[in-house]
Amino acid sequence: MSWSTNTVWANRRMRRLLRNGSGIVATLSLAGGMCAAQDLRAPSAMTAGEAATISTTGSGKATFYLVGPGVANKSDISLGSEISLRAQDLRDSGQYFATLCSDSCHSASFFVMPAKPANLAFLVHPSRVPVAASDAVSGVAIAFDQFGNLVRDPGTVNFQLTAGKASLLSRAVTAHDGIAWFRATSGKSAGPLQVVASLGDLSARRNVQEVASEPCNLRITGQRTKDGLMVETEPVHDCAGNPVPDGTIVSFTATDASGKSTVDAPIKRGIARAEIAASGPVVVSVASGVAMGNELRMGGGQ
Amino acid sequence: MIALATFHIAMIPTSLLTAMNTIAMAMIGLTLMAITTISVTTVAMTVNFARRRRVLSIGSSIRSRSTSRIMALLTASLFLFCTPRSNAAVNVDMNVSHAGPRTVESLTERGIVRDYRIAWISLAHALEFNALGALSGPFVSTAKESLVNTVSSQQHSGLSTRYLNQNHKVEAVYYAPEGDVIELHDAADYQLQIFDGGKLVHDEHVVMHYVVLMTPAADHWVVRQLQAVPQF
């Protein structure tokens, strides 16, 4: 707690009186001020949302000011009595200035500390993540009290990552300045990944959708049709065996005597299919993302 | 003009806020200067006329010099009055070398310094003039609620607070892996003045420690938490 004394009024009054040549009046005025000296004393520690009192000394009437985060109050008080600070005026953690003015002004400042943690803000990224991606999932937990004040020393936050029934990660992290965080590799199977942060009785849960990674081992088959070729992939999987989601684009490229043509087709129900207009001998290749598949060679009469 | 400049401030990019306020103030200054010039000229003409009638020996050059001095003094006073004091001195120095786990890139650093400075200019403006509109751009969530409550409370009790000569030594202590939140420690010092109407009731040079949470918005950083602490 820091203390300061403000004698703005007294100094101004003194200067004005001296300037006017009323030295005796000034002396008396200051002496009078000292006789009725008022002071105030605030508790050393206050907690957000709890009522408190400030004691005053002196006698007579005075004006009391309380200025701090979320509050700027003014009230008339009697010196020598205790000033009650309402709980609702001390909801925000931070530094408050209490000023008492009668002949002169005296100030005291004090801190209101956060209450116990009541909320856990939990930011998790990303919302969809490919399987087996290194350091791809991250989370940040920030502790707040019931009034939204940052609790700087909330203790240890436990992070748990679960995919299905398998636990991927369980880590206890000590929060610094109210923040605890983790970073982890995603699981190996597609599906929902549950991410939980817990702090004492508090917990926050988020879901990350793990999706198949890039296609792996693309294989195509094909057959001649009346107008050309019909080619299709086998069910497309990533390298961990997860089916690649529908909508993923697969590119078929046909090379024949007339040149090269490419057809893009989305995966539907696990398989991508395309019809290519070609005559004579033709070579068809397939690719999706960075993955290449097998080549299919078909003669003109087949 | 101030009201116009801060009207619908939420829809205005915060980077324009300072410029708009400055332009508004300058316009007020120019208007008042013009009015003052006309008034002073009229007064000077009246005085000159009276003096001519009484003391014809006084030279016109002396009179015009006095008039010029009065005009210069009034103009300077008006400009000093009209300059937004809250904008006058807000220095922000930032150190990002200890931030992690993500590295703060130089463009990000510049953006944060710019927006944090604007936030303090807006805060000072809002609390000095009890102008709620100034808080809409740079502050969100708890920080904004707290400041809005302070301004509303000041309006109700007739108080105002002035933050002068602000210096902020800011250190980034945490930058999230995905860059969606940054935590700052701000060792700030400024002259804090509390007014009850026109009466100064508290005047102190304070050193404050703030823990700040900022998050990226569409095109700028916003202050989500601004909390004074006894020490870091």
pLDDT tens for each residue of B69-79: 555 545 544 44
CB pairs under 8 A between A and B: 123
- Dihedral sign, Cα of residue B93, residue B95, residue B100, residue B103: positive
Q: Does the distance separating the beta carbons of A183 and B194 come in below 8 Å?
A: no
Q: Residue A86 gets which letter from DSSP?
A: P
Cβ of residue A6 closer than 8 Å to a chain B Cβ: yes
- With tokens 């829809």, the residue in question is B11
Is the pTM for the entire model greater than 0.80?
no
Query: Higher confidence at residue B82 or residue B161?
Result: B161
Among A253-262, B7-16, B173-182, the range scoring the smallest mean pLDDT is: B7-16
User: Residue A227: in which H helix or E strand, if any?
Assistant: none
ipTM of the complex: 0.76
More confident residue, A31 or A119: A119
Question: In 3D, which of B18, B32, B25 has the Cα closest to residue B2?
Answer: B25
Residues of A in contact with B225 (CB under 8 A): 150
Residue with tokens 């033709």: A282
Q: Which of A72, A140, A149 sits opposite B181 (nearest CB)?
A: A140
Q: How confident is the model at residue B157 (pLDDT cuts 50, 70, 90)?
A: very high
How many of the other CB atoms lie within 10 Å of CB of A128? 10
Tokens of B2: 């101030």
B26-45 tens-digit pLDDT: 555 555 555 555 555 554 55
Domain B84-229, CATH class in plain words: alpha beta
The C-alpha angle with vertex A6 and arms to A4 and A10, in degrees rounded to 5, equals 150
What per-residue confidence (pLDDT) applies to A18? 40
> So what's the pLDDT on residue A38?
74
State the average pLDDT over residues A106-122: 95
Q: Do residue B202 and residue A125 have CB atoms under 8 angstroms apart? A: no
**Average confidence (pLDDT) over B159-183:** 96
Alpha helix (H) ranges present in chain A?
8-19, 23-35
User: Where in chain B are the domains?
Assistant: 2-61, 84-229
Helices B141-157, B106-129: inter-axial angle, 10-degree rounding: 20
